[in-house]
Structure 1
Amino acid sequence: MEKNKRVFVFDDNAEILELCTIILEDAGYDIRTSSTSNDIIGQVQAYVPDIIFMDNWLPDVGGVDATRALKAHETLKSIPVIYFSANNDVKTLAAEAGADGYLSKPFDIQELEDVIRKHLAI
């Protein structure tokens, strides 16, 4: 059996992190979460996920700057970053950040899984 796909979720809301963990583990993914985008490169390099979900409102470094840092990094830029936010302008913010896609909050389980499947082509 192939190894589970790895998902990294950045969000400062503990309830969202817990919800994503339950949903994604249940769907067979390995998941890591972080409530801060401090040392975003180091955090992502330590886990090397297949896909990243990035909240807009993160302490210290916001989601836009964190996504830009990842997309400017030679070895990490190919990892899809999905911007997810309750902000009405989530589509605009995702484009501004250079994200590969976006997911509006609140989202349902099916939407979350569909976005992952789409970007990982599974």
Structure 2
Amino acid sequence: MKKKILYIEDDPDMADIVAEIMQYEAYEVIIDSGKSMYKLLKDNDIGLILMDEGLRWCWGSNLCKELRLNEETATIPIIMISAVRDIDNIAQHCGANAYIRKPFEIYDVIDVVNEHYPSNDTGL
């Protein structure tokens, strides 16, 4: 069974790039704009969330805050991923576990995800 990541991103090209990178690391990436986020979290065993800050319909940091306030999702690791200049401060203030600044190197994504994905799930 693959380890599952929910990637909240509304740029299809960026979503495809990250999904392809993570497939080589034995992750299954479920992509959503954020509008179906709660349904996807309920229906899938998501171990980590990647969240873009600049979504077309809202700020990812606002979704991150919502997830942190919900006891069912409060402990899921969240990594903000964005080209926003102050993504480090945004990630800290919304309760994210980490951030990745765009543009990124492939191994930046792999390393941060591997560091924060819950280790009690062996993926077997």
With the length of structure 2 as denominator, give the TM-score of the two structures: 0.88
Mark the runs of 5 or more structure 1 residues left unpaired by the alignment.
Answer: none
Residues 9 and 15 of structure 2 are in contact (CA less than 8 Å); yes or no, is this contact kept in structure 1? yes
Q: 1:48 aligns with which of 25, 39, 45?
A: 45
1:119 and 2:121 equivalent?
Answer: no
1:10-25 to structure 2, matched below 5 A, reads: 10-25=8-23
Residues 37 and 62 of structure 1 are in contact (CA less than 8 Å); yes or no, is this contact kept in structure 2? no
**Alignment partner of 2:54: what SS?**
coil
Q: Give the length in aligned residue pairs.
A: 119
For 2:69 and 2:118, the matched residues in 1 are separated by: 23
With the length of structure 1 as denominator, give the TM-score of the two structures: 0.89
Amino acid at match of 2:68: K
Mark the runs of 5 or more structure 2 residues left unpaired by the alignment.
Answer: 120-124
For 1:63 and 1:98, the matched residues in 2 are separated by: 11
Amino acid at match of 1:13: D
Q: Which runs of 4+ in 1 moved over 4 A?
A: none
For 1:72 and 1:50, the matched residues in 2 are separated by: 17
Residues 41 and 70 of structure 1 are in contact (CA less than 8 Å); yes or no, is this contact kept in structure 2? no
Identity of aligned residues (%): 24
